[in-house]
């Protein structure tokens, strides 16, 4: 079987992760990275070739799957439908509330041009969504909980950095252990936002900045911190660079359900991720779905799909026989 | 949409669980239980009608999915291919080593008669298999671990009860916490059978039995206990009946993998179940796959499939639009 030829659109942390993930899969090969920047200015981690995004269309025949590594706020709503006119595409669009609209736009573009598109892949949305679906289908009488962390929230870190007097800043979302234990007990608690997660901030202040004011500004910030218990820790730039230079993340999907006579039997399903690198893991998910995309496309599929629509066997390099004998 | 009409072949703990699980799903209805015993002797938990297995074939038009609730050792290898000639069927065949052979037999019977069959569903094989497949596809460089328990092993409990002088007996498989912590640390340890699980036995001895001899017989039993650290606890029949009257089980599937530049970034995926009733939970899995079967059959699918072949969306009563907006 021919290798799946991958293109990467956009080269930040996620694009870099995809480049490295391709190298871990013998049945994939990387054609190149496509950037809106000057290609000469982009240095890739493993020596991938860099092209201008303007040249992508001319290479359509060389690429089986274009993995779009832009941001969900402004890049993907525009890029994914545009690129789906030219390529089979995969993205990690993660603005949950806007998924139906994004799906419709991508589905239209892909169907009209005869391409196949997978959206909203990664771990949430993605693997966490799959676990919510499996668990809720199996245990219809129950309650689902999602906890995130401990991990870096890019959006909240950005928000900290916009506060006056902040030179460097990072925010960790921390799931509250006692809340998770309450869920595991089967009591199906109603948990407020504040009861589920803490927000832990690490800040390097500008020289002479008013630390008390920075702390208050962060803690009271609407939509970001005001509904949470938040800690703000001031540290030196040296410590910041030494300790807070990674992008760990993770979380938990839990389903507490009841079965049996009188629905009195407690059944607990729990899925968790502990990731040293959020973008590298997300990239690994995207790449294994690229394998599924190539196979489904070969069967004639077009339009937009999500993780829900893809039978698990398509993700593995093993044959159906091998899967049944080794993994079932 | 019409309700999915369910038949249950065989009425033990699993059949009883299926009967109760049907009642939790509005889109399902139970036609009846089919037994090889005298139907008049079978009392069902929720009042399901009981028929002789000999009458099943005459009711083929009334049943969309027959869920076969026999044992894997002798019942299912015979029953599933036989019944697949007459019905669409689902079983929980769990003898991992014989799955390829069972698959071939069922696939042939189902294809020849135009039926659809799902085999080896439940949690292991089933949900644990799915998690092994997803995790290994995402993290190709890594190591997968499966731990079982704490829970009752039927096979090991039966083995205890065959020991001379044992009146009642039950065996719990217990995963060793320090081994699981070693896996979670990312060290990818090589673990022996003894390092992964303990075997905890609770025994009611016959009056006047030689307790030391019972204990030695259990601990040294080949294939069952000799490769494990085993504890044997003697208790009264009253305590046995009060404490050891449930069938809890569960376990963990863990994938420890490495990504990124030089494959130095540790990524951990963990899936776990904590079940108060193993048969009720297995039944819940079978029933949600019955929904998927009815849908795939309506699309024209025939032959044998496993959890690997079934796109997750088929399991949920929600529409594709609802799934995308509520669960993705």
Q: Is the dihedral of CA B186, B190, B194, B197 positive or negative?
A: positive
* Displacement of CA B295 from its chain's centroid (Å): 23
Q: Which residues of B touch A17 (CB under 8 A)?
A: 259-260
> Are the Cβ atoms of B327 and A129 closer than 8 angstroms?
yes
Q: In chain A, positions 91-110, which contact chain B (CB-CB < 8 Å)?
A: 96, 99-100, 103
Q: Does residue A148 sit in helix, strand or coil?
A: strand
Backbone angles phi, psi at A66, to 5 degrees: -100, 120
Asked if B261 lies within 8 A of A20 by C-beta distance, the reply is yes
- Determine the residue among A26, A138, A245 to mutate to test chain B binding: the one whose Cβ has the most chain B Cβ atoms within 10 Å: A138
CB A15 within 8 A of CB A30: no
d(CA B133, CA A237) in angstroms, rounded, equals: 43
Q: What are A239-271's pLDDT values in tens digits?
A: 999 999 999 999 999 999 999 999 999 999 999
What's the ipTM? 0.97
User: Which DSSP category does A70 fall into?
Assistant: -
* Residue A291: both structure tokens together: 């394998």
3-class DSSP state for residue A289? helix
Residue B20 forms contact with A (CB below 8 Å): yes
Question: What residues 241-260 of chain B have any CB closer than 8 A to a CB of chain A?
Answer: 250, 257, 259-260
Report the C-alpha gap between B256 and B268 in whole angstroms. Answer: 5
**According to the model, what pLDDT value does residue A317 have?**
97
User: What is residue A132's predicted lDDT score, i.e. its pLDDT?
Assistant: 98
In chain B, the residue whose alpha carbon lies closest to the alpha carbon of A261 is B20
Separation CA B253–CA B124 (nearest Å): 10
Distance CA A38, CA B264 (A): 30
Chain A CB within 8 Å of residue B285 CB: yes
Strands (E), B14-165: 28-35, 50-52, 65-68, 89-91, 116-118, 142-148, 151-152
DSSP state of A45: S
Cβ proximity of B189 and B182 under 8 Å: yes
Helix axes B127-138, A278-298, angle to 10 degrees: 100
- pLDDT tens string A274-285: 999 999 999 999
Whole-number Å distance between alpha carbons of A319 and A321: 5
In what helix (H) or strand (E) does residue A295 lie, and over which residues does it extend?
A: helix A278-298
Question: What's residue B1's pLDDT?
Answer: 65
Residue A29 in contact with partner chain B when CB distance is under 8 A:
no
| Cβ proximity of A117 and A304 under 8 Å | yes
Chain B CA closest to residue A273: B269
Asked if A285's CB is within 8 angstroms of B138's CB, the reply is yes
Question: Nearest Cα to B282, choosing from B158, B135, B171, B125?
Answer: B125
Cα end-to-end distance, chain A, whole Å: 24
Residue A200: CB partners within 8 Å, gap ≥ 6? A171, A172, A173, A174, A230, A231, A233
Q: Answer whether A20 sits within 8 Å of B259, measured CB to CB.
A: yes
Residue B143's pLDDT is 98
By the CB < 8 Å criterion, does B120 face chain A?
Answer: yes
CB A179 within 8 A of CB A191: yes
pLDDT at A125: 96
Q: How large is the angle between the packed helices B75-84 and B99-113, nearest 10 degrees?
A: 20
The H helix count followed by the E strand count for chain B is 11, 14
Q: Which residues of B touch A48 (CB under 8 A)?
A: none
Say how many C-beta atoms besides its own lie within 10 A of residue B237's C-beta.
Answer: 11
Residue B203, both tokens = 């025994």
Instruction: Kindly identify which residue of chain B lies nearest to residue A291, measuring between CA atoms.
Output: B137
| Mean pLDDT value across chain A | 97
Chain B residues touching A146 at Cβ < 8 A: none
pLDDT at A271: 98
- Give the separation between CA A98 and CA A320, rounded to whole angstroms: 36
Report CB contact under 8 Å: A259, B277: yes
Q: Give dist(CA B216, CA B98) in Å, integer.
A: 32
SS3 label, residue A29? strand
Return the closest-CA partner of residue B301 out of A223, A311, A323, A92.
A311
| CB B30, CB B16: distance < 8 Å | no
Q: Collapse the DSSP code of A132 into the 3-class scheme (helix H, G, I; strand E, B; otherwise coil) and give the result.
A: helix
For residue A256, which of A162, A77, A135, A102 has the smallest C-alpha distance?
Answer: A135
Q: Using the predicted structure, report yes or no on whether residue A1 has a pLDDT greater than 80.
A: no
Low-confidence ranges of chain B (pLDDT < 70): 1
Q: In this complex, is the C-beta atom of B49 within 8 Å of any C-beta atom belonging to chain A?
A: no
Those residues with Cβ within 8 angstroms of residue B64's Cβ, 6 or more apart along the chain or in another chain? B4, B5, B6, B88, B290, B293, B294, B297
**pLDDT band per the 50, 70, 90 thresholds, residue A323:** very high
A255 CA to chain B: closest CA distance, Å?
Answer: 10
Residues 178-197 of A with CB under 8 A from B: 184
Question: Structure tokens of B307?
Answer: 């959890």
Confidence of residue A69 (pLDDT cuts 50, 70, 90): very high
pTM for this model (two decimals): 0.97
Residue A239: its pLDDT value, please?
97
């Amino acid at each position: 079987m021919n290798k799946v030829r991958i293109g990467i659109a956009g080269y930040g942390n996620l694009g870099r992760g995809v480049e490295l993930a391709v190298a871990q899969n013998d049945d994939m090969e990387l054609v190149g990275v496509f950037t809106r920047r000057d290609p000469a200015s982009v240095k890739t981690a493993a020596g991938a070739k860099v092209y201008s995004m303007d040249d992508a269309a001319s290479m359509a025949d060389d690429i089986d799957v274009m993995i779009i590594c832009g941001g969900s706020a402004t890049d993907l709503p525009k890029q994914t439908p545009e690129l789906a006119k030219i390529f089979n595409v995969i993205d990690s669009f993660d603005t949950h509330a806007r998924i139906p609209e994004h799906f419709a736009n991508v589905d239209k573009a892909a169907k009209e041009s005869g391409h196949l598109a997978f959206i909203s892949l990664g771990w949430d949305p993605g693997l966490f969504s799959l676990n919510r679906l499996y668990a809720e289908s199996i245990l219809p009488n129950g309650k689902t909980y999602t906890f995130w962390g401990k991990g870096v929230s890019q959006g909240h870190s950005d928000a900290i950095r916009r506060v006056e007097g902040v030179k460097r800043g990072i925010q960790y979302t921390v799931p509250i252990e006692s809340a998770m234990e309450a869920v595991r007990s089967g009591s199906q608690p109603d948990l407020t936002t504040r009861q589920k997660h803490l927000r832990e901030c690490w800040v390097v202040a500008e020289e002479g900045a008013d630390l008390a004011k920075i702390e208050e500004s962060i803690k009271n910030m609407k939509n970001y911190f005001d509904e949470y218990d938040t800690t703000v820790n001031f540290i030196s730039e040296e410590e910041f660079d030494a300790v807070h230079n990674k992008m760990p993340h993770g979380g938990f999907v839990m389903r507490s359900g009841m079965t049996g006579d009188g629905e009195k039997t407690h059944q607990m399903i729990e899925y968790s991720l502990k990731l040293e690198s959020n973008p590298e893991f997300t990239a690994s998910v995207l790449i294994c779905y690229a394998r599924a995309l190539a196979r489904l496309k070969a069967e004639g599929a077009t339009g937009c799909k999500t993780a829900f629509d893809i039978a698990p066997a398509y993700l593995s390099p093993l044959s159906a026989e091998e899967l049944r004998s080794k993994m079932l």
